[in-house]
Structure 1
Amino acid sequence: MSDFKFQINSRGFLINRESFDLEYKQSFHFGDSLVEYTRSMVGMANNRGGKIIFGIQDSPRKPVGLTNDKFTNVDTTKINNVVSEYFSHEFDWEITSIEFNSMEFGIIEIKESNNKPIVCKKTKQKYVREGAIYYRYRGETKEISYPELANILDKEKEKERRLWLSHIQKISDIGPQNVQFLDTYKGEISLGNEKILIDKSLLDQIKFIKEGEFVEKDGAPALTLAGEISGIFDNGAVLPNAVSHPYQSSDIESEFGLSRYQVMCLIRKLNIQNNPKYHDPIKTGKNSTTHKYSDALMNRVEKILERYPSYISEACAEYQKQLKANRIKK
């Protein structure tokens, strides 16, 4: 339940003015209005969070309540869908209804985002613009100005720096030789030179218990590793087939606009040969082999190229360097 309090003057008008964390709307509508609401929600999430109150008359600000049940009966997935369609990532918000003077009001409460900035990824008429970062200022939501954007980026860099320092300190305390890694991207737990593979269908459902919390909440499944691990399945436990590994080198070329040489360098750099999660060599004759690749590899390559545009050129440079070194040895 929201902690919003109605403060009314002698004429029945709201004392609370709109601010960086408070916005008023007289009524709640669907359609394009949802884009407008989510823009305000994103603006607050990019700042310090806030509330949108529905049922407040404009000029003068007077509580009149909602005149229908649209807000009460709204399916929150509709709002989530708009956020997903128009903005880079989700954030935390809650929706609730409250009563005041026998009238009903709606409140959307937005929490400050832990991952800033949230960026608009699609244009919608006059409401939102692709590439824009919306920010809540005092009494209005608009595209962010440089000082606020610089402040967000500086804080994100500092947060990442502190996180790295925390990880490094924990590794130092535990001892590098005792540290194991859980890679939630690949679905692997590294134990020295061995690996445990977690099925992706299970990985997507795992909820990890935060430090200091020892009780599962809201029925969320949790993964608990207890006792000793007496046996470890290596990558050979993955059995590739035509369905899981439908791609050839030519598919990688066409999908990412690469040459055959670039694909060869990429495969070498990724070092996926004989890793059945990504690669399945199929004997087609006594001295011939067809190499098949999985969806997991295609997804991995896509994300790598998004994050590191120079990855291909680096892979090719490393290959040339290795060839040169081999020639010198001979």
Structure 2
Amino acid sequence: MKPTFTFELDRRNYVKRRESFDLEYKQSFQGGDNLLKYAKTLVGMANNKGGQIIFGIKDSPHLPIGILSRRWHETDPKKIDRIIREYFSQEIQWTAEILEFDGKDFGQITVLEAENKPLICKKNKDGLLREGAIYYRYRAETKEIEYSELRTVLDKENEKERLMWMQHIQKIAQIGPQNVSLFDTYKGEISVGNGRILLDKSIVDKLNFIKKGKFVESDEEGLPTLRLIGDIEGLVEPSVVMESDKLFPLLSTDLKERLELNSYEIQCIISKLKIKENNKYHTEISLGKKSQIHKYSEALIPLIERMLLRPDFMKECREEYGKKQKEKIKTTRSKKRK
């Protein structure tokens, strides 16, 4: 069932609400270079406070006529997603859906405010986009950002970072620098010297304050460890801890099942995309001197799915991985001969 939507109309049945910094109307949804224009508008809104584009509103005056062609239904949202990733510095959070009003269908694309600003255009495109440009949504218009708005965006980003540093510095001052080890709340890891400890979800759930802890010089493998004794209460605020299982919940076997690929194909793709070099998609957990577990984030699934839409992608992955394996074997044999 389609979500219902209500436009506030005047006595002539025109839409009352005007276009603004967070709203744009389009009479129809079109392909080609128009997809670049939509992406530009979405990025401009994300650089401001977010917003939406509604398709099916006639221009001058704004009359709700609905989507009349099939192009909206026939266009894969992944195509817009690819354009955004190709032309802009980072991904944005957006959704597309069909809304119903007065028996008519309307397209809606909604974008959230970007967490990290500004988003920057990465390359030129036929006079539509300019490399290095920062697009910003003004009242009923998306254009390159002006000085005052750019200054505001940068000041807010600097303030966010300043506040985070102040919080960390205050905590370090309370504990004493000599007693501080680094706790990565993003991955749920503690760095102790050259070692690394991954906190399991069962431990993270109890992290209120450390009641009693004892540092041990090394475990059986010679790696620095931290022994946690008794209930854990009081030093770390649990609301800021992101469980490692949530960030990197997937093993290679999970990737196989979710993507319906075999082990070799997964290895080929991971090698091709250099996934193990990207900490957004991958983390490595050491179990000992020579044993590691590779885990992957949920964000990797849609990335691979998008890449698999390319007709020759899997073939390229197999060929490149095959060449690397042959070179590796050749190098190993050469070393043995020496």
Q: TM-score, normalising length from structure 2?
A: 0.57
* 1:212 aligns to 2:239 (yes or no): yes
> Which residue number in structure 2 is paired with residue 167 of structure 1?
168
Q: Deviations over 1:228-273 (max 9, x none)?
A: xxxx7566658xxxx79x99xxxxxxxxxxxxxxxxxxxxxxxxxx
Q: How does 1:188-203 map to 2 (within 5 A)?
A: 189=189, 191-196=191-196
Secondary structure of the residue aligned to 1:89 is coil
Alignment of 1:307-318 (within 5 A): none
Matched residue, 2:149: 148
How far is the alpha carbon of 1:12 from its aligned partner?
A: 1.4
- Once the two structures are superposed, residues 59-106 of structure 1 have per-residue CA deviations (whole angstroms, 9 ceiling, x without a partner) of 111110001333235322111100011111111112121111100001
Conserved? CA contact 2:51–2:110, under 8 Å? yes
The residue type equivalent to 2:70 in the other structure is D
Q: Which amino acid aligns with 2:239?
A: G
- Counterparts of 2:93 and 2:133, CA distance in 1: 20
CA distance in 2 between counterparts of 1:5 and 1:195 reads 57
The number of residues matched between the two structures is 223
Residue 14 (structure 1) shift? 1.0
The answer (yes or no) to whether the contact 2:50–2:114 under 8 Å persists in 1 is yes
1:176-203 per-residue CA deviation (whole Å, 9 max, x = no partner) reads: 425334498xx995542242499xxxxx
Q: Does the CA-based 8 Å contact 1:188-1:195 persist in structure 2?
A: no
| Cα distance in 1, alignment partners of residues 241 and 163 from structure 2 | 25
Q: Deviation at 1:44?
A: 0.5
Bigger Cα displacement from structure 2, 164-173 vs 34-43: 164-173
Q: 1:191 to 1:283 in 2, by over 3 A?
A: farther
Q: Secondary structure at the match of 1:97?
A: strand
Query: 2-side partners of 1:237 and 1:99: how far apart?
Result: 55
Q: Which amino acid aligns with 1:212?
A: S
Q: Secondary structure at the match of 1:45?
A: helix
Q: How many Å separate the matches in 1 of 2:88 and 2:137?
A: 16
- Aligned partners of 1:3, 1:153: CA distance in 2, in Å? 38
Counterparts of 1:156 and 1:134, CA distance in 2 = 17
1:62 aligns with 2:67: no
2:234 equivalent in structure 1: none
Q: Which amino acid aligns with 2:195?
A: K
Residue 179 (str. 1) matches residue 206 (str. 2): no
Partner of 1:9: 10
Partner of residue 138, structure 2: 137
Separation in structure 2 between the aligned mates of residue 214 and residue 12 of structure 1, nearest angstrom: 51
Query: Residues 5, 164 of structure 1: CA spacing in aligned structure 2 closer, same or farther, 3 A cutoff?
Result: farther
Distance 1:284 1:215, change over 3 A: closer
Supply the distance in 2 between the matched residues of 1:123 and 1:215 (Cα, whole angstroms): 38
Which residue identity does 1:134 align to in structure 2? Y
CA distance 1:194–1:183, change in 2 (3 Å):
farther
Give the greater-gyration-radius structure (CA). 1
- Aligned partner of residue 125 in structure 2, secondary structure: coil
CA-to-aligned-CA distance 1:105-159 (integer Å, 9 cap, x gap): 0111111111111111111113111111111111111111110011111111111
Cross-structure match for 2:309: none
- Tell me, yes or no, if structure 1 residue 75 matches structure 2 residue 76: yes
- Structure 1 segment 1-330 matched on structure 2, within 5 A: 5-173=6-174, 176=177, 177-182=179-184, 189=189, 191-196=191-196, 212=239, 222=249
After superposition, give the CA deviation of every residue in 1:21-58 in whole Å (9 maximum; x if it has no partner).
11000111222111000000011011111110000011
Change (3 A) 1:211 1:21: farther
Secondary structure at 2:71 match in 1: coil
Shift of 1:4: 6.2
CA RMSD of superposed structures (Å): 3.6
- Structure 2: give runs of 5+ residues left out of the alignment: 199-236, 251-285, 293-323, 329-334
- Structure 1 residues 211 and 33: CA distance shift in structure 2, 3 A: farther
Kept in 1, the 8 Å contact 2:123–2:129? The answer is: yes
Identity score, percent: 44
Give SS of 2:41's match. helix
CA contact (8 A) 2:5 2:100 kept: no
